[in-house]
């Protein structure tokens, strides 16, 4: 199945060793897109193994696999139409799109508003001299290709890691890039085999069970909410949050919860009691065998969160995105069991 996915067999061997071969568990694990620490560590390792050009090509291909998979998953969910609640599908990566310049064929302009990949790269590898969000470009290429049923390539032209104000890109069909003779696009095309990636990705196109992927309209942010494998735990009252998680830890039914979103919105963490309480909550969630996602971390609390001694800490900026990521993680775990 890997034939045609890459022109470099040793590169695919390295990706498989890192856990990103087509048949490996991480090929369906969303953590890469929500855990900046995990992704930063991968950046360093893959740069060491493949050097700059090979690393960016490999990251683009990993992103392409995930993007196509999400496009087919969302299409499968829409076809199944199983949910009765108001829901919102979400891509793993925050993407903003607008119509590109008028002309022949499909053309879209866009950006990655959170700058997730650029910020991770700046934190671990420093500034760059050119746009380098290869994982994001690959993911967006895959998502658009699966959504529009066409071979669409995304080329980044501005990047925060290179000193620009945003991470911006242009998306066009492959034939349009070839006709335009764009050097950046032409450098990527020889390593892309869309048909091979589609074959791999469609095996992950399972519709989700009947469960919401975002908060219902009457969502109460002072209450604990549980939807099947996903729990949302507000942290507005530290004592109450601690009591709740300890009580739930003794409940046998809690084992069904696979992902817990800890909502820190409007919570001013301090380095004393509240930080210790948060760490205890995260350790309890880990003891369940579940994943924790933090959302609503204020700028003043970022340093405190970064110092927490928790192995797998996932972050999402807003609550709807955190809930959507939680269901994607739970769904991936369900298919891996």
CATH number of the domain encompassing residue 271: 3.30.750.24
Pair 171, 141: CB distance under 8 Å: yes
Asked whether residue 120 is domain-assigned, the answer is yes
Asked whether residue 219 is domain-assigned, the answer is no
Asked whether residue 54 is domain-assigned, the answer is yes
Do 178 and 259 fall into the same domain?
no
User: Which residues of the chain have a pLDDT value below 70?
Assistant: 1-31, 75-90, 99-105, 191, 203-220, 249-255, 266-268, 309-313, 331-337
pLDDT at 237: 73
Joined tokens for residue 179: 């006709």
Residue 48's alpha-carbon distances to 39, 42, 53, 55, 62, in angstroms, are 14, 10, 11, 8, 17
| Residues facing residue 108 across a β-bridge | 99, 171
Asked whether residue 212 is domain-assigned, the answer is no
Length in residues, the chain: 337
Do 88 and 158 fall into the same domain?
yes
Q: What is residue 8's DSSP assignment? A: -
> Longest C-alpha distance within the chain, in Å?
63
Do 129 and 26 fall into the same domain?
yes
Do 48 and 184 fall into the same domain?
yes
Domain boundary (153, 174, 204) is at: 204
Backbone angles phi, psi at 265, to 5 degrees: -55, 135
The sheet with strand 313-316 has its strands ordered as: 225-227, 230-234, 259-263, 291-295, 313-316
Do 48 and 194 fall into the same domain?
yes
Do 265 and 117 fall into the same domain?
no
Asked whether residue 3 is domain-assigned, the answer is no
Asked whether residue 290 is domain-assigned, the answer is yes
pLDDT at 1: 29
Find all residues with CB under 8 Å of 272, minimum gap 6, and list them.
Answer: none
Find all residues with CB under 8 Å of 171, minimum gap 6, and list them.
Answer: 97, 100, 106, 107, 108, 109, 110, 140, 141, 144, 152, 153, 154, 155
Asked whether residue 211 is domain-assigned, the answer is no
Dihedral Cα 312, 318, 322, 323, nearest 10 deg:
150
Do 263 and 114 fall into the same domain?
no
CATH number at residue 169: 3.30.1380
Do 19 and 73 fall into the same domain?
yes
pLDDT at 310: 63
pLDDT at 235: 84
Do 265 and 174 fall into the same domain?
no
User: Model-level pTM greater than 0.85?
Assistant: no
CA dist., res. 141 & res. 173, Å (int): 10
Do 118 and 242 fall into the same domain?
no
CA dist., res. 235 & res. 182, Å (int): 50
Residues 139-161 have pLDDT tens digits of: 999 999 988 888 999 999 999 99
CA dist., res. 69 & res. 221, Å (int): 32
Q: Is the dihedral of CA 146, 96, 330, 314 positive or negative?
A: positive
Containing structural domain, residue 281: 225-336
Do 57 and 179 fall into the same domain?
yes
Q: How many distinct structural domains can be found in the chain? A: 2
Residues 155-206 have pLDDT tens digits of: 999 999 999 999 999 999 999 998 888 888 888 887 677 888 888 777 655 4
Do 173 and 254 fall into the same domain?
no
pLDDT at 306: 78
Asked whether residue 4 is domain-assigned, the answer is no
């Amino acid at each position: 199945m890997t034939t045609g996915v890459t022109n470099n067999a040793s590169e695919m061997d390295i990706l498989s060793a890192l856990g990103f071969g087509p048949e490996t568990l991480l090929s369906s694990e969303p953590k890469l897109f929500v855990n900046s620490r995990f992704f930063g560590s991968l950046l360093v390792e893959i740069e060491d193994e493949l050097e700059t050009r090979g690393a960016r090509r490999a990251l683009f291909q990993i992103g392409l696999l995930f993007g196509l998979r999400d496009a087919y998953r969302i299409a499968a969910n829409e076809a199944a139409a199983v949910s009765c609640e108001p829901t919102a599908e979400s891509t793993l990566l925050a993407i903003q799109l607008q119509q590109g310049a008028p002309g022949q064929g499909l053309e879209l302009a866009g950006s990655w508003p959170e700058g997730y990949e650029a910020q991770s790269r700046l934190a671990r590898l420093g500034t760059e001299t050119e746009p380098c969000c290869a994982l994001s470009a690959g993911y967006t290429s895959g998502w658009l290709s699966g959504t529009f049923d066409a071979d669409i390539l995304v080329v980044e032209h501005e990047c925060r890691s290179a000193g620009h104000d945003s991470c911006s890109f242009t998306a066009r069909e492959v034939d349009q890039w070839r006709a335009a003779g764009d050097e950046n696009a032409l450098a990527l095309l020889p390593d892309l085999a869309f048909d091979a990636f589609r074959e791999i990705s469609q095996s992950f196109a399972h519709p989700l069970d009947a469960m919401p992927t975002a908060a219902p309209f009457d969502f109460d942010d002072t209450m604990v909410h549980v939807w099947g494998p996903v729990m949302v735990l507000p942290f507005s009252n530290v004592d109450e949050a601690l009591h709740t998680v300890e009580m739930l830890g003794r409940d046998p039914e809690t084992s069904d919860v696979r992902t817990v979103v800890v909502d820190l919105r409007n919570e001013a963490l301090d380095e004393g009691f509240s930080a210790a309480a948060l760490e205890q909550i995260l350790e309890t969630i880990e003891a369940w065998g579940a994943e924790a996602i933090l959302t609503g971390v204020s700028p003043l609390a970022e340093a405190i969160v970064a110092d927490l001694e928790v192995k797998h800490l996932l972050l999402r900026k807003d609550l709807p995105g955190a809930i959507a990521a939680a269901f994607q993680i739970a769904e991936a775990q369900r298919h891996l069991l």
